[in-house]
Amino acid sequence: MGGDLNMSSTNYGVQGTIGQSGIGYGSDTNYEIGLGFWYGTGPNCLAIPGDLNSSNGLTLGDVIHLLDYLFDRDKPPCIGIDPGNCWAFIPVCRGDVNGSGTLTLGDVIHLLNYLFDRDKPPCIGVDPGNCWTPEANGACCQPLP
């Protein structure tokens, strides 16, 4: 009753209990989970689009993180759970700033343009001051700082 947890699949099993004070979102390099009583059934706003390093802002550090993810993910050595990629981020939609559904160099260019060209008009788009605003999608729907 209440916070009892018992889940399983072909490869994994989870058992535990949770109290009311233990609600919210949890994640690690490979998995994410929502915890608590009456945890919503729809997608939750968990992240800011473009905030790859989880700093609660968009900076050049996010661009570097995305570049490292794209071009350094298969080069060891790497410190972390996945020895092939220490640049992973969850949720992945943090890096899909152009809303294409994939992580590419186009996302890097989009994020760079947002950081360095956002105050230069004219711009064609919803926000005439910045047509490079990272697109909210999925769990990455928190407002930009």
Of 31, 106, 41, 33, which Cα lies nearest the Cα of 67?
106
66, pLDDT greater than 60? yes
**Long-range contacts of residues 53-61, Cβ cutoff 8 Å, at least 24 apart:** 53/89, 54/89, 56/145, 57/145, 58/111, 58/114, 58/115, 58/134, 58/144, 58/145, 59/115, 60/115
If you ran DSSP here, which 8-state letter would residue 140 be given? Answer: B
The per-residue pLDDT for range 94-112, each reduced to its tens digit, is 899 998 988 999 999 999 9
Query: How many whole angstroms separate alpha carbon 137 and alpha carbon 100?
Result: 10
Question: Which pLDDT tens digit goes with each residue over 112-143?
Answer: 988 887 666 566 555 555 677 888 888 888 88
What are the structural domains of the chain?
A: 4-35 (no CATH), 43-145 (1.10.1330.10)
pLDDT tens digits along 45-57: 788 999 998 899 9
Q: Phi/psi zone of residue 13: left (φ > 0), alpha (ψ -120 to 50 degrees), beta?
A: beta
Exposed (0-12), middle (13-18) or buried (19+): which is 97, by Cβ within 10 Å?
Answer: buried
Given this model, what pLDDT does residue 63 score? 94
Indicate the average pLDDT of the chain: 73
Q: Write the DSSP symbol of residue 62.
A: H
Q: Is the pTM of this model over 0.85?
A: no
